[in-house]
Amino acid sequence: MKPQPGLARAIIFACLALVMGGTVQEDAEAASRPLRLVALGDSLTAGYNLPQTAAFPTVLEKALRAKGHNVEIANAGVSGDTATGGLDRLDWSVPDGTDGVIVELGANDMLRGLDPAITRNAIQAIVSRLEARNIPVMLAGIYAPRNLGADYVQRFDSLYRDIADQHGLVLYPFFLEGVVGDRSLNLPDGLHPTAKGVEVIVERILPSVETFLDRVQQR
């Protein structure tokens, strides 16, 4: 039996409506899902001696949400971790489905006087492995104390800029900008920020993170 033209058109339109409806629904679901970020770092990320509500990832997530960004930030900070330690645990610290990673590593390398080449190679490997998984990266750098000598300072400080330039990454040059050296913003050890110090860090890094989010969303 030959189908009537009107019936055939109706069937075609019904099929198109189903397909397009599914696409619209999928797009709506994708738009409503929060961006899933991971903050991969050391004690500065973990929130050393602070409640989790005062840790960097939590405070940053709150600040971003206050500005209208639908994000979730997992705290993958481990106190005492070096860049090599971050590399060793990368695969389980950054699960599948992660939309972007903020890498804050290297402070413990510097405090231990490790060869900057070791730190450079580890962070380079972290970035490359995340790129291979199609996960965008933002780098948060650390400056070496000037008493370590001009050669060490130059080799250490430059590694973050070099890697960021090579891979086209958003870079926040100094994670502790505005906090280091201020006793009122640091714990008694002089190395880790207080809750107020974390708020200062978040306030200063926020524009760079928003730039990073724009890149993540444009993928």
Residue 3 has pLDDT above 90, yes or no: no
Average pLDDT over residues 105-114: 96
Domain ranges of the chain: 1-32, 34-218
Q: How many C-beta atoms surround the C-beta of residue 176 within 10 A? A: 23
Residue 131 has pLDDT above 90, yes or no: yes
Active site residue 184: no
Measured CA to CA, the distance from residue 192 to residue 188 in angstroms comes to 8
Convert the pLDDT of each residue in 134-191 to its tens digit: 999 999 999 999 999 999 999 999 999 999 999 999 999 999 999 999 999 999 999 9
Greater confidence, 180 or 12? 180
Given 27, 128, 192, 214, which residue is catalytic? 192
Q: Which residues pair with 37 in a beta bridge?
A: 73, 100
Average pLDDT over residues 63-84: 98
Q: Which residues pair with 72 in a beta bridge?
A: 36
Tell me if 212 sits within 8 A of 37, measured CB to CB. no
What pLDDT does 96 receive? 96
Given 43, 93, 109, 157, which residue is catalytic? 43
Active site residue 43: yes
pTM for this predicted structure: 0.86
Average pLDDT over residues 103-115: 97
What does CATH list as the number for 34-218?
3.40.50.1110
Residue 10 has pLDDT above 60, yes or no: no
Measured CA to CA, the distance from residue 18 to residue 27 in angstroms comes to 14
Given 157, 167, 189, 208, which residue is catalytic? 189
- Phi, psi angles (nearest 5°) of residue 170: -70, 130
Residue type, 88: D
Listing DSSP states for 55-118 in one string gives SHHHHHHHHHHHTT--EEEEEEE-TT--HHHHHHTHHHHS-TT--EEEEE--HHHHHTT--HHH
Active site residue 93: no
What pLDDT does 26 receive? 45
What pLDDT does 32 receive? 78
What pLDDT does 27 receive? 47
